[in-house]
Every structure is written in structure tokens, then in C-alpha cells.
Structure 1
Amino acid sequence: MKPTRARIRRRLLPALALIALSTVVAPPAGADAGPRPAGADAGPFPAGADAGAPSPLDWKPCAQGPDDAPGKELDQAGARCAQLTVPLDHSRPGGRTITLALSRLPATDRARRIGTMVLNSGGPGESSLGMPLRTRAAMKDVAARYDLIGLDPRFVGRSTPLDCGWPIGLWLRSPGATRARFDHQVAVQRDLAERCARRHADVLPYANTRDTARDIDLVRRVLGERRISFLGYSYGSYLGAVYTQMFPGRTDRVVLDSAGDPDTWGPRAQQGTEDEAERALRGWAAWAARRHGTYGLGATPARVLATVDAIVAAAQDRPLRVGRYEVDEQAVPYILSVGSGNDRSAARAEFSATVRTLNEAAHRRPAAPGPELDGFLTFILTSAGSPLAGPAAAIICGDRAAPRDPDVYWNDIERSRARHPLFGPLKNTIWPCAFWPNQPRERLTRVANPTPALIVAATGDTATTYQGSEAMHRALTGSRLLTLRGAVAHGIYGEYGNACVDAEVNAYLATGALPAADPTCRP
């Protein structure tokens, strides 16, 4: 069940891995602040808004009790955890504070130690505290030369929490087939925003990527590092890019996996990804057709897609009963979009089993979900996903304002429905950001700088598209683009299982030398 939740979280707002210079805090002693580089983003906070050096970290065991399996795993690997106090509002460093949770897996080859690497899993809203263990496995021998830092960003995981109290499944939904159902969804999204405001109106203005980047620079300072390396996936790539813009010269080796277009980041970032989603669904349909004897979904791709259409139609008629859950027409497109976005055999087999169960429910037969589908539905339809949904929505809405007029969304939905009847409405629908209680405190970061970075992208990514990664490559003029061609994947390095990609990234992490040209790998 845990792998399913991790995949859901990574693709939650299949975020566009991106992120900017303000000497909000002074550089560590001996660092060369130098003149502000061209294109640096100073932001509204003056360089003098520095409360002084952060307090030293008190590293302790990570496990918080006998049932804390992730903490125990970190402890057994030799990691330690700490809490860092940071300003809620970086323009008022002497005011209210919040805490950040960190883990550190120290370098074991101290004689050849390269430095510290900060990690981010994405989301936004995904906990990264346990990420050093996964990253160490991906880095192989190179990991021994880095201190790996898992950081739960502000309001995420073990850091000061922000929980709006609503399931992800109430937020990430298709609008339905009619204006009446869309109007109901508008009311739901308004209610979600109001519920979050009632709980957290005092902190929502400070949930955003730019303040998270400032937090990362405080982490750099308290660790005594002049520069840090960074590895981020999906939204974590956006965060990493914003950090390079806000704090130029503070990074060493930067890997941005499954990056998106930094200029389109925000509440409507999924617009324009319909073609990729439909190609991925067709690719899965061809795979499932060759296994009709196993899954019974159709002996040709066209028949498999007809089965999918029948499931959607049945859900429009009335919700599908899947075990203890009702899955309605607004949830089905999201399930299909998430499930078809990975072309590895294990992922396609899991998704085929999901569609088989939905097909049973569509025929009004008993449909008991397997453990993976049950975990998926539990996560999106119950309060289990609430601790992730709140900070994710708050960060997205806090980064960029969304249109307030529901008719803007309805018109986009109707235009997209003609060409993309399944995924068009899902990608263009209204979110709580349309009713968010506060406007963003700062403008969206414009990423444009020469930071050396390695951007990793799959040509069939349905979440942060390959075109988005190309846009990130253009924005970071010192970067190289490592392409996994012919693959449908989101989250590649150390996750997809491509030896070529893993070797290219590890060579860069070991030497600091980017490839001479943009390299290409194949599945």
C-alpha cells in the first residue's frame, strides 16, 4: 500500500519541477556575497532582514515511538533527525516562528566528501524526511561522499503542520458531464477554501515556494555549507529552480527530475497535458489488449478503450460500488489519469487490475478492490490524504492567483471536452484556488539564470510534460537535458529502473561535470 500512496503523492498535482536571489539572510562567514548576478530575483525583502545565525541543530534519533516504522528505518541506516526553527514570515525574522523537520544520513567516505545534498520528493506536500534512504540506493557508491538531507518543507510532514481537513478526492475531481454538476463542484471547491481559511487563515499567506526556498537557505547556513547540492522530483524540481534564482551561487550539483515549465506553474498548470494523457492511455490499452486472457478488457486496443468508455458512462449514470467505496463520474477520470501514467510492466499490470475491478462495478457486479486499489481509494476518498491535501493546495494557491470567475473554467472545460472528452474536463476544472482567502504575497518567480543543472525528463511524461522540461532547460541556460526517450514515466532517476539514466546522473554527482551535450537514454 505504501508504494501506491507514494505514487499518488508524487502525481498529486503532478507538479512542474521548477524554483529564486534575495539575500534574505546573510551568507555564512567567509562566503563571497559578491555583486548581484544578472537575472537574480531579489524579491521584496531587504538583505538586512536577517535575524542572525540560526541556532545549532540538536541531532537525535528519528523514531518517535515504537510504531514509527519510517523513523526506525532511518535510525537503523545511521541517520539522525533534528528540528530547525525558522521565521513564519521571513520579512519579520524576530516574529512568530515555525519548525522544520530534517533528517541527515552522513557521508561515510569523509576523506572524499563532496558536500551536502538537500532532497525534495515533490507534491507539493510530499514528506521528504525518509528520502535519504531511497536516494542513497539510487546513488550507489557516490552516496558515501554526500551528507544526504531529508527536509520536510514548511507545513509538510513532521514540520509545523497545515491540515485543512478535507480529502484529496474532493479537490482533484473532474467537473462532470453537465453544467449542473459543474456548479455543484464550484460549491464544493468554495467550501474547501473556506474550511481551510477557518483553520489556518493566519498562516496561509506564508505557504508558498519562495518562503520554502528561504527556509532551504537557512538549512544551508545552519549546516555551515557555502554551497549545497540539490535533488528534486516534479514540484521539487520547481522548488530547486526557484532556489537557484533567489540564491545564485549557493548551489553545487543540481538534479531536477521530471521538471515542468516554470512559467506555467500554478493552479492551472495541468492545462495542455491532455494529449500526453491520452497517448499514455492508448499505450496502456495496447498493452492490456495483448493480455486480454488475463484481464478480460478487450482483445484489441479499440475494445479496451471501449471498455474504459463504458466504465465512464456507467459512472455518469450512478456511482460505481467498489468494495466499501462509491466511485462517481468525477473520480473516475482522475483514477484513469494517474493509473495510466507509467509504462513499466508492474505499473501497467496494477492499473489493468484496477480497470478490471471498475469494469466489474460498471456491470453492477460485486467488485472487491485488491490491496493497491483499496489503498488508492482510501487515500483519495477519506481523511487519510488530508495532511497532504492541505499544504499542497496552500502552496499552489499561494504561488499564483487563479481566475475567480467560474465561467472561465466552464468555458475552458467545454472547449477541451470536444477534443478530449475524458481528460479535457479534468485538466481544466476549477480548484479551491479560485476562492482562496489570500492573494499571493509575491509575484511568481521568473526562472532565468545560468546555474549548471542536470534536468531529467521522459518524453511521455503525462504530469510535467517533456515540453515543460525543455522550457526549464531554456530557463536554466547552464543546464543539460537528459532525455529518456520513448518512456511514459514521472520520476525517473532511481525510480524508473533505467540504468543509462542512473549512470548519467551518478557520473555528474561524482564529478560535478555536466555532459558535453544533451544526452539521450532509451528504455
Structure 2
Amino acid sequence: MTVSYRQPGVVLTDHRFTVPLDHDDPSGETIELFAREVVARDRVGRDLPWLLYLQGGPGFGANRFIGKQAWLGRALQEYRVLLLDQRGTGNSTPVNRQTLPLRGGPAEQAAHLTRFRGDAIVRDCEAIRPQVTGGAPWTVLGQSFGGFCTVTYLSIAPEGLDQALITGGLPSLDAHADDVYRAAYPRTERKVAAHYARYPQDVERARRIADHLLTHDVVLPSGYRLTVEAFQTLGVLLGSGDGSHRLHYLLEDAFVRTPSGPALSDAFQEQVQGLLSYAGHPLYALIHESIYAQDDRPTAWSAERVRSEFPQFDAAKTLAGDEPLLFTGETVHPWLFDCDPALRPLRETAGLLAARTDWTPLYDPARLAANEVPVAAAVYHDDLYVDTAHSLATARAIRGLRTWVTDEFEHDGVRAGGPRVLDRLLALARDDV
């Protein structure tokens, strides 16, 4: 049963689909996928082509837009849009600390989680496409991890695609997680330096907070244990267009005077726990490094291991000297599973995934080299989340792909840029520019 309702300028219809948990066992266990159809109110009865949106992540449900926000208004000029909650996210049979014990112990949970990577997401898309489009190929817009999935789509089911549009999501076809993070830490250091150049007062503020966390045991109201390393992960904000400003405002009023001396304010703690908690997207922490796994090499907590090669990120050493505290970026560490109450029950499961050595390839270089689907990709120069050099190497490896390399936007350009990014990509894919 489908349900339709209205928002300003649009009509929304909720859809639920049943797909195999394991597409290699189509008669076995099934899971549910949730997707939201959006169409402009004045085009409800028209026969429109479809655009499928694949959200960034992994582990996030599709955007919950109101009306025609961000890129959606531009898309609705031509398309019906399907906002898919990828398997395990949003309203699609969610995966979290509450549901995973239904699978059994950590070994069974880890085995279950191997079915939530990009290849399974693409096969889900192909399973539901005939029900949505009547079998016609659709245009796919992939943001960040959704772009990774789009490259997988081009590798295993290009017949399902009319066009492929990618924003901040061209992955390396062969880099191990270690290669990804070795490129990421210097890039993160540049972003932090740019932040301090804009807000020099934040150098002392960040150092003061870090020093407090090194000398005090701080537990946030949610039960999240705020260590200095966890505080450093707020650097993930620096990958968005307004992130530097948001970080600045967060730091400026961190402390409050109390009878026992300075303490981190309730307002600061409330904001921080909202930014750091994985309660709403635990799948991100569990399978993030596995999106870079394609052979018999374990990821083995790659971000944590590689971090040791960059001692400038060690807060204790930084505070012993005069250097600014460095924030980190898009990294997942084993100690997060001690800090975050939403992750604590899943630490052993995450460790088993990190040790896994039987990962299967996600991309087919030969098929990509022979690609015939029109593809356009926005590559954000010095993107915090996705290495520009890796993206451009992949762009050269996909036949016919056209890139738009820009430093006008950060990783969230498709949101922050309104209709402009999507408009540009459509023009490139159609060879209009």
C-alpha cells in the first residue's frame, strides 16, 4: 500500500519494497526497502523519467527534504525523483545495536554486515527498478558514498542507467584503506590550517578544551565519553561549506564558570553530543572502512593505524608544545566503540569486520573502460572526504566520463549549491557544454 501527501510545491508518495537479504539466494530471507517518490505538484499526472538519488554515507537514510530544497527543485523540472533509504538505513529494515542481536553473536552480526556494501545496494536498485520505472533505465545521482555506489552500478549493471551523475564521490578503483587515509591526513591538516587562518582565536580555544579533556573525565548527558581524541573528530565539520563557521561558533562559548572552577557548559556538551553520536547512523561506523576493501587484505582499523604515521595529530604531544591542536576528518577508530553508548555493544562485531580477509571487488575496471553510459562528475578540489587525485585517476579510467573540477564548493556542494551543481552535471552528461 502506498501513501501520498503534499508539501509546498510537491507531492510525496511512500513506497516499500521487498528484496532478498542476499541476492545470490533470491529465495532466502528478505528485507524491506523504503523509498520516497517526489514529483512537482503541477506534473503529477505526467509521464516523466525517473531520477534515483543515492545518499552519502555509508549508513545514512536519504535526505528528508521539505518542498524543493537544495538540488531537488532542479531535478523536479524534468524528473520524478526516488529518494532511497539504502538497506539498513532510515526506514529500510534498520541495522543498529537494537536489531543486530537478532542475528546472534558478534560473528553472526559481522557476517550479516558484509551484505550492506555498495554491490548489494546496486542489486537492490536493480531489483526495484522494474517496479518503479516499468523496466526503463533511470538517471542516478550519487552523492559521496552514493557516487561510489554509482561507479559500482556502472560496473555491474550499466543497462539500468540512462545517465550517471556523481557529486564528490569518485572512488579510487584499487586503493586500500591505508592509501585512502595516508592521503587524507595531510589534506585534513590543510583544512585545519585554513580554519585557524580564518579564526585565529580558535587556536587557543581548541587547545584549552583539549587540555581540559586530558585532565578531566567528561561524560556527556547521553553517556558519551568525551575524550580529546573524540573531540578532535569534530574536524569532520570542515568538509562542508559552512563547517568552519559552525566549528568556530561551537568553540567560542565552550566554558562556563562554576563554584568548582571552569567547566564545559551544558550548551556546549549538548551540541557536541549531537555532532558526535552515531545513534542515528551506526552503520556508518561499522562498515565505513569496508567500502575501501576489495581483496584479501583486512582494513584492520586503518584510520587508527595510519594516524600513528602523523604524530602531529597526537593531542598530548601538541599540548606539550606550542603547536595548534589538529582536528581529524572522516575517520572511524576502535576507541569510538568505547566512547559512544550507541556503539559499545558492537565493538567486538566491528573488530571482526576489521579483521576480515575475504572482501570481494566493488568495481570492474574493464567494464568501466568500455562504458557507454553518459557520466558526469563534480570533483571538489581538495575535498576533505574524497581525495581529488584518486577521483581524477578514476575519471580517466571510465570511458566518456566528463568532470567538473571546482573549488567553489566543499563536499556538500550538491546541497549548498542549490540547483547549480545538478544543472551543470546534466549539461555535461548531455554534452550541452
Place the TM-score, normalised by the shorter chain, in its bin. Answer: 0.7 to 0.9
1:100 aligns with 2:100: no
1:414 aligns with 2:308: yes
Question: Which runs of structure 2 are paired with 1:277-316 in the superposition (5 Å)?
Answer: 277-289=188-200, 298=201, 304-316=202-214
Question: Which runs of structure 2 are paired with 1:11-160 in the superposition (5 Å)?
Answer: 58-61=1-4, 77-106=10-39, 108-109=42-43, 115-128=49-62, 130=64, 137-140=70-73, 142-160=75-93
Identify the residue that residue 28 of structure 1 maps to in structure 2: none
Secondary structure at 1:86 match in 2: strand
Identify the residue that residue 412 of structure 2 maps to in structure 1: 491
Give TM-score scaled by structure 2 length: 0.76
Structure 1 distance, partners of 2:329, 2:130, is 45
Structure 2 distance, partners of 1:264, 1:423, is 28
Q: How many residue pairs are counted as aligned between the two chains?
A: 395
**CA displacement 1:420-472 (0-9 Å, x = unmatched):** 87457995955865422865463343453334211112213211132232133
Identify the residue that residue 298 of structure 2 maps to in structure 1: 403
- Answer yes or no: is the 8 Å Cα contact 2:129–2:135 preserved in 1: yes
1:258 aligns with 2:168: yes
Identify the residue that residue 386 of structure 1 maps to in structure 2: 279
Letter in 1 for 2:281: L
Is the deviation greater in 75-84 or in 423-432? 423-432
Q: Gapped runs of 5+ residues in structure 1? A: 1-57, 62-71, 167-191, 290-297, 299-303, 517-523
What RMSD in Å do the two structures reach over aligned CA positions?
3.9
Letter in 2 for 1:415: E
Secondary structure at 1:241 match in 2: helix
- Equivalent in 500, 504, 522 of residue 424 of structure 2: 504
Letter in 2 for 1:414: S
Secondary structure at 2:162 match in 1: strand
Structure 1 distance, partners of 2:95, 2:221, is 31
1:349 aligns with 2:245: yes
- Answer yes or no: is the 8 Å Cα contact 1:115–1:147 preserved in 2: yes
Secondary structure at 1:203 match in 2: helix
Identify the residue that residue 197 of structure 1 maps to in structure 2: 106
1:460 aligns with 2:382: yes
Structure 2 distance, partners of 1:410, 1:161, is 27
Identify the residue that residue 217 of structure 1 maps to in structure 2: 126
Letter in 2 for 1:416: F
Identify the residue that residue 156 of structure 2 maps to in structure 1: 246
- Equivalent in 226, 235, 259 of residue 327 of structure 1: 226
**CA displacement 1:121-172 (0-9 Å, x = unmatched):** 21111111635x5776525355132110011111111111211359xxxxxx
Residues 196 and 443 of structure 1, relative CA distance in 2, 3 Å threshold: farther
**CA displacement 1:234-254 (0-9 Å, x = unmatched):** 111001110111012321222
1:368 aligns with 2:368: no
Secondary structure at 1:144 match in 2: coil
**CA displacement 1:8-65 (0-9 Å, x = unmatched):** xxxxxxxxxxxxxxxxxxxxxxxxxxxxxxxxxxxxxxxxxxxxxxxxxx4224xxxx
Structure 1 distance, partners of 2:262, 2:215, is 15
Structure 2 distance, partners of 1:423, 1:367, is 18
Identify the residue that residue 184 of structure 1 maps to in structure 2: none
Secondary structure at 2:71 match in 1: helix
How far has the Cα of 1:84 moved from its partner?
Answer: 0.9
Identify the residue that residue 443 of structure 1 maps to in structure 2: 361
Secondary structure at 1:145 match in 2: coil
How far has the Cα of 1:111 moved from its partner?
Answer: 9.2
Letter in 2 for 1:315: L
Identify the residue that residue 322 of structure 2 maps to in structure 1: none
- Answer yes or no: is the 8 Å Cα contact 1:207–1:398 preserved in 2: no
Structure 2 distance, partners of 1:215, 1:308, is 44
Q: Which has a greater percent of strand?
A: 2
How far has the Cα of 1:216 moved from its partner?
Answer: 0.6
How far has the Cα of 1:367 moved from its partner?
Answer: 3.1
Structure 2 distance, partners of 1:364, 1:464, is 42
How far has the Cα of 1:399 moved from its partner?
Answer: 6.7
Question: Which runs of structure 2 are paired with 1:160-239 in the superposition (5 Å)?
Answer: 160-165=93-98, 197=106, 200=109, 203-223=112-132, 224-239=134-149
How far has the Cα of 1:256 moved from its partner?
Answer: 0.8
Structure 2 distance, partners of 1:426, 1:89, is 29
- Answer yes or no: is the 8 Å Cα contact 1:116–1:148 preserved in 2: yes
Structure 1 distance, partners of 2:17, 2:98, is 26
**CA displacement 1:333-363 (0-9 Å, x = unmatched):** 101x11333343xx433211212244669x9
Residues 357 and 331 of structure 1, relative CA distance in 2, 3 Å threshold: farther
Give TM-score scaled by structure 1 length: 0.65
- Answer yes or no: is the 8 Å Cα contact 1:82–1:101 preserved in 2: yes
- Answer yes or no: is the 8 Å Cα contact 1:455–1:469 preserved in 2: no
1:473 aligns with 2:398: no
**CA displacement 1:267-321 (0-9 Å, x = unmatched):** 55434211221221121212223xxxxxxxx3xxxxx434433433332233457
Q: Gapped runs of 5+ residues in structure 2? A: 319-325, 336-346
Structure 2 distance, partners of 1:343, 1:129, is 17
